[in-house]
Structure 1
C-alpha cells in the first residue's frame, strides 16, 4: 500500500481524525502494513504485546479462551484499534484476535504507539474512550451471562 493511501485511511480512523496530515505521515511511515487471510491469528492471548493494530480494511473477532473453549467477546471492523491493552498495561495479550475476513492492518510498534500518546493528548483521550466503551460492553455481557447462568434470562 502506498504511503498516501495509508495516510488517507488513517485520516478516516476516529482515533487519528484530529491529527494534522504531516503527523499522520510520520505515523504511517513508522508503522507497518500487515495483511491477514480469513482465519489467521493477528495476535494471541498470553503473548507479549509488542504492537497495537489499526484495522484498515476487513473484520476480526476478539476471543478469550475459557474452560469451555474460545468465547468471542467482540467483533472489530475498519477503523478499530486492538492490542493497546498489552502495551499500555505491560501485560500479556488479554485476548486472541482472528481475521474474520481478509484483513489489512497497520501495525504500530509499542514505542511508536506510546510516543503517539505522549505527543497527542487527543489520541490518548480517544484510546481511553475506546477502552471505556469496551469495559462497559464487557460489564453488560458479564451481567447478561450471570443472569442466564442463574436462570433469570435477560431483559424481555
Structure 2
C-alpha cells in the first residue's frame, strides 16, 4: 500500500516541500495499520521510526511513579492527550536526535488506525541526499518540538504554582 501524494500535501510535517519532493517521500513511507487497543509505541522502549497518524485516533500517556520513603505508589498511566488524524500529527521524532533515544510516552490506538511510518535510516538518507528536503523537514520538526516545549514549560509553571500554594497553607 502506498501513500497518495494528495495526502502527503496535507501533512504539516511536509509543509514547504516542492511538488517533486513528494515522489521521494512516497518511496520511504511505509503504511501500517493497528487495531483498536493496540500499543503502537511503549514508553521506555527504543525505536527507529517516526509515526504519522493518517486515520484513526490514539491516546498518549506516561507512567507515573511516586517514590516516597517507606511508601511506593505502583506504576499508573496518566493520559496526556488524544490525537486524531484530522491534523495528521506525528510522534516518535526524538529518534532522529539521539542514537539511544527511548520512547518518552506510550501511544495506544483508541480506534483502528493507519499510520505512515518513516524509519530513521531512510529519513536521514533522504535528508543527506537532498539538503533542501532535509532542511525543510528538520525545520518543521523543530517548530513542533518548540511548541511542545513551550506547552511543557507552561504546564510545569502551573504545577509549581499549585504546589507552592498548597505548601504555603
Same fold (TM over 0.5): yes
Task: Name the TM tier (shorter chain).
Answer: 0.7 to 0.9
5+ residue gaps, structure 2, are 66-74
C-alpha displacement at 1:134, in angstroms? 0.9
The count of residues paired between Structure 1 and Structure 2 equals: 150
Please say if residues 48 and 93 of structure 1, whose CA atoms lie closer than 8 Å, have aligned partners that are also in contact. yes
C-alpha displacement at 1:70, in angstroms? 1.1
State whether structure 2 residue 102 is matched by structure 1 residue 92: yes
- Higher relative contact order (Cα pairs below 8 Å, separated by 6+ residues): 2
Q: Distance in 2 between matches of 1:140 and 1:73?
A: 14
Q: Distance in 2 between matches of 1:97 and 1:141?
A: 20
**Which structure is higher in strand share?**
2
TM-score by length of 1: 0.84
5+ residue gaps, structure 1, are none
Please say if residues 58 and 101 of structure 1, whose CA atoms lie closer than 8 Å, have aligned partners that are also in contact. yes
State whether structure 2 residue 83 is matched by structure 1 residue 73: no
C-alpha displacement at 1:66, in angstroms? 1.3
Deviations 1:81-108 (A, max 9, x none): 1001133223111111111222111110
C-alpha displacement at 1:117, in angstroms? 4.2
Match of 2:91 in 1: 82
TM-score by length of 2: 0.78
* SS at 2:122 equivalent: helix
C-alpha displacement at 1:72, in angstroms? 1.9
* SS at 2:37 equivalent: coil
Q: What RMSD in Å do the two structures reach over aligned CA positions?
A: 2.0
